[in-house]
Structure 1
Amino acid sequence: MIEVNQLSMTYQLGGRSIAVLRDISLRIEAGQRVAVAGPSGSGKTSLLLLLSGLERPASGRIAVDGVDLASLDADGLADLRRDRIGIVFQSFHLLPSLSALDNAALPLQMAGRRDAREKARELLARVGLAERMHHYPGQLSGGEQQRVAIARALVHRPRLLLADEPTGNLDDQTAASVRELLFELNRELGTTLVLVTHDLDFAARCERVLRLHEGLLHEARADALPA
């Protein structure tokens, strides 16, 4: 599903080149649940952005579902995300002028699917928002907004779901509910799940835990990660 070879990423800051990721190689099989942990600034979000094609590496190769991301232009990468990748952000990124239903339907509508709203209704009901789908983001709680974001990310049945701190802005009870939802949908849809999280309980329930530290990636045990 994901193959990463000798991946590096740098940022320019004040005339200096800062290495965020250094010579990372990684393989994730289809259907796996993988947590990426590490201190703030260690490059976790940068890694997800690279896997989604939203950022380009300084060097190295990334293949997602057999597609070499370097072989695609901006339109090709957008098509890949539309067809095969779902992304959940910590801050939801819902469009405030659209209802929950229209936010969730957006990926399919952009693909020209006539059944976009029907499929969005089905998934919003699946995530417990059957009675809230005509509400706007400003009328929803944080947990409800994240459920809409998850529905939007999964409405096109992607092969890969990337989640960046999906429970980071939620209270404990709501976070636990969202965790359960992500794992249930992972099992039901067979979607590969790669998530960035500081939640050690969340990480421990994944099949693999990867730790980023000073730009380097290591396999780790969840119980060995720093709080």
Structure 2
Amino acid sequence: MPSTPYLIEADGLHMHYAVGHRTVPVLRDVSLRIAAGSRVAIAGPSGSGKTSLLLLLAGLEKPSAGQIRVAGADLATLDADGLADLRRGHIGIVFQSFHLLPSLSALDNAALPLRMAGAAGAREAAADMLRRVGLGERLHHRPSELSGGEQQRVAIARALVHRPQLLLADEPTGNLDDATAESVRGLLFSLNRELGTTLVLITHDMDFAARCDRVLRLHDGQLHESQPCRQPEAHDALPA
């Protein structure tokens, strides 16, 4: 467990890519603190570095400079196995594309993180989480038999089945129609409250972002604090 109230601490992050003989900056001197249990949106236009920042926080990319601590761990001190262990124990990730294995049922897709960790009762825990996201009647359906919204709910169940401290969500409603997107938004906030999981949301949708506790804006690779936000509405509830 972290020794500070912050689940995420990042200082002086820089990230750039080499394109031929040129260096293209993505993030410039980004620092942030995110408290455990909070809901934080990172907003900005396409190409502003939002997804790059999420990949850094997940330990899936390394910064060109700077330090990141997640759940008390300095990511720079961890090798590939250590980073994988950190994600298995503390981090769940939801992407815009669902990334479900087409040959597996919803139940087996959701159980994957626990199975990969060798945990007992993986399918039972996955079934419970699928029921929490409103898919109790769809456990044995494969992704091709599910709607886009249902597939994203499976992805959310998979990300939360190991009860992580941190959920990173990268444009989680980007591929959904308006009604389904609203349902998924409410689900994410409800699970944040119920499970106490810290939510870091990457989005270009400012209405979605405004329902978080804080909004951080990325512009030209630099991070800026936005105005205080309203709380999620009462209709942000778990599926019946």
TM range (shorter): over 0.9
**Residue type of the partner of 1:155?**
V
Helix, strand or coil for the counterpart of 2:23? strand
Match of 2:73 in 1: 67
Match of 1:15 in 2: 21
Kindly indicate whether residue 176 of structure 2 is the aligned counterpart of residue 170 of structure 1. Answer: yes
| C-alpha distance in 2 between matches for 1:211 and 1:59 | 20
Contact residue 46 and residue 204 of structure 2 kept, 8 A: no
Helix, strand or coil for the counterpart of 1:23? strand
**Structure showing the higher helix proportion among its residues:** 1
Q: What do residues 88-133 of structure 1 show as CA deviations (whole Å, max 9, x unaligned)?
A: 0000111111111000000000111120000000010110111111
Instruction: Output aligned runs, 1:127-142, within 5 Å.
Output: 127-142=133-148
Contact residue 203 and residue 222 of structure 1 kept, 8 A: no
Kindly indicate whether residue 43 of structure 2 is the aligned counterpart of residue 52 of structure 1. Answer: no
Kindly indicate whether residue 24 of structure 2 is the aligned counterpart of residue 3 of structure 1. Answer: no
Contact residue 216 and residue 225 of structure 2 kept, 8 A: yes
**Structure 1 position 222, deviation (Å):** 7.8
Instruction: Output aligned runs, 1:64-143, within 5 Å.
Output: 64-143=70-149
Match of 2:39 in 1: 33
Contact residue 217 and residue 224 of structure 2 kept, 8 A: yes
Unmatched runs of 5 consecutive residues or more in structure 1: none
Unmatched runs of 5 consecutive residues or more in structure 2: 1-6, 230-240
Match of 1:205 in 2: 211
Contact residue 200 and residue 222 of structure 1 kept, 8 A: no
Superposition TM-score, scaled by structure 2 size:
0.91
Q: What do residues 165-191 of structure 1 show as CA deviations (whole Å, max 9, x unaligned)?
A: 001110111011000100000001111
**Structure 1 position 14, deviation (Å):** 2.6
**Residue type of the partner of 1:82?**
R
Contact residue 213 and residue 228 of structure 2 kept, 8 A: no
Helix, strand or coil for the counterpart of 1:82? helix
| C-alpha distance in 1 between matches for 2:228 and 2:19 | 33
| C-alpha distance in 1 between matches for 2:144 and 2:94 | 18
**Residue type of the partner of 2:132?**
R
Report the CA distance shift for 1:160/1:218 in structure 2 as closer, same or farther (over 3 A). same
